[in-house]
């Protein structure tokens, strides 16, 4: 079927379900969105959630913009934007008025599952020392840390993967794997992962990425801050901004990807 979010062809793929079996989801790599038929979202197992991480992160590309009026792939009715709350996280999705299912972006899905958390004011302040430009994890638009604390285009907050929530998901997947006799993630891997995902690890990764970009550009001199009409310093940035969730996913798969095929 075509993705309701952007009308690109979406791939139907099987993911592990709670209590065994598989559920088919329509995954769109163009706009980073997923179509869940009615009741499919709560049915994903922890391993299924991790499979979806691997799928979305592994095939990520520049994002196609979402349509203003999305239509239900089953009945063609216009999907209605719905705001919801799960574990203190606000998230949104687009649902069919006749309950055929819903479309959600991968970022909003992570919000729903409580796997990402917003940055604290202190972390935001610290982040500004390491990066000027970020890429919105939801729409892919630029976020200038000098002016913005959320995406100016889609209003998504700045989020990082929550190491605790990732640890819990890994743990759940491990327990379920123990029942079916699948390969287990050693506990040390989960610990290592949690350390990597802490803010310090993020800042090291950000700095490393900035250095790499600077080397790739032939070590140009650091850009001189200029002033705009409001008297605010602007630093011209050569590279596109960093997506904090992508950075976290890189860390996740650098750890779990190295221990064999876990999921």
SS3 letters across 122-163: HHHHHHHCCCCEEECCCCCCEEECCCCCECCCCCCECEEECH
> Where does residue 59 rank: exposed (0-12), middle (13-18), buried (19+ CB within 10 A)?
exposed
Nearer to Zn ion, 134 or 185 (CB): 134
Nearer to Zn ion, 136 or 251 (CB): 136
* # chain residues binding Zn ion, by CB under 5 A: 22
Which H or E run includes 213? Answer: helix 199-216
Question: Which of 34, 96, 170, 247 forms a contact with Zn ion (CB under 5 A)?
Answer: 96
Q: Helix, strand or coil for residue 17?
A: strand
* CA–CA dist 251, 161 (Å, integer): 10
* CA–CA dist 33, 6 (Å, integer): 9
Site string for Zn ion, 126-145 (x = CB under 5 A): ----------x-xx-x----
The reply to whether 146 sits near Zn ion by the rule CB under 5 A is no
Site string for Zn ion, 21-50 (x = CB under 5 A): -------x-xx-x-----------------
Q: Say which DSSP state 53 is in.
A: H
Q: Does the CA dihedral 89-90-91-94 come out positive or negative?
A: positive
The reply to whether 116 sits near Zn ion by the rule CB under 5 A is no
The reply to whether 6 sits near Zn ion by the rule CB under 5 A is yes
Nearer to Zn ion, 108 or 169 (CB): 108
Binding segment toward Zn ion, per CB under 5 A, in 100-108, 113-121, 174-182, 251-259? 100-108
The reply to whether 154 sits near Zn ion by the rule CB under 5 A is yes
Nearer to Zn ion, 44 or 151 (CB): 151
Residues 6+ apart with CB under 8 A from 151: 136, 138, 139, 141, 143, 157
The reply to whether 5 sits near Zn ion by the rule CB under 5 A is yes
Binding segment toward Zn ion, per CB under 5 A, in 5-13, 19-27, 223-231, 238-246? 5-13
- Binding residues for Zn ion, rule: CB under 5 A, are 3, 5-6, 8, 28, 30-31, 33, 72, 74-75, 96, 98, 100, 136, 138-139, 141, 151, 153-154, 156
């Amino acid at each position: 079927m075509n993705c309701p979010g952007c009308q690109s062809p979406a791939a139907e793929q099987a993911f592990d379900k709670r209590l065994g079996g598989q559920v088919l989801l329509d995954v769109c790599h163009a706009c980073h969105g997923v179509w869940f038929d009615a009741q499919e979202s709560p049915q994903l197992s922890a391993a299924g959630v991790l499979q979806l991480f691997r799928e979305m992160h592994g095939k990520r590309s520049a994002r196609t913009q979402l349509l203003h009026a999305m239509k239900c792939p089953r009945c063609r009715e216009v999907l209605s934007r719905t705001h919801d709350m799960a574990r203190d996280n606000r998230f949104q999705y687009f649902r069919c008025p006749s309950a055929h299912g819903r479309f959600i972006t991968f970022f909003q899905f992570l919000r729903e599952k409580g796997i990402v958390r917003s940055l604290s004011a202190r972390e935001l302040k610290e982040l500004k020392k390491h990066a000027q430009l970020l890429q919105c994890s939801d729409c892919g638009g630029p976020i200038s840390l000098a002016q913005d604390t959320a995406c100016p285009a889609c209003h998504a907050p700045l989020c990082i993967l929550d190491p605790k929530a990732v640890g819990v998901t890994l743990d759940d997947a491990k327990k379920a794997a123990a029942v079916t006799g699948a390969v287990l993630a050693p506990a040390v891997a989960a610990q290592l992962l949690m350390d990597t995902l802490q803010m310090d690890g993020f800042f090291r990764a950000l700095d490393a990425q900035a250095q790499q970009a600077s080397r790739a550009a032939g070590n140009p001199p650091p850009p001189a801050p200029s002033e705009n009409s409001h008297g605010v310093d602007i630093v011209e940035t050569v590279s596109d901004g960093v997506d904090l969730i992508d950075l976290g996913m890189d860390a996740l798969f650098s750890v779990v990807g190295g221990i064999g095929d876990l999921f």
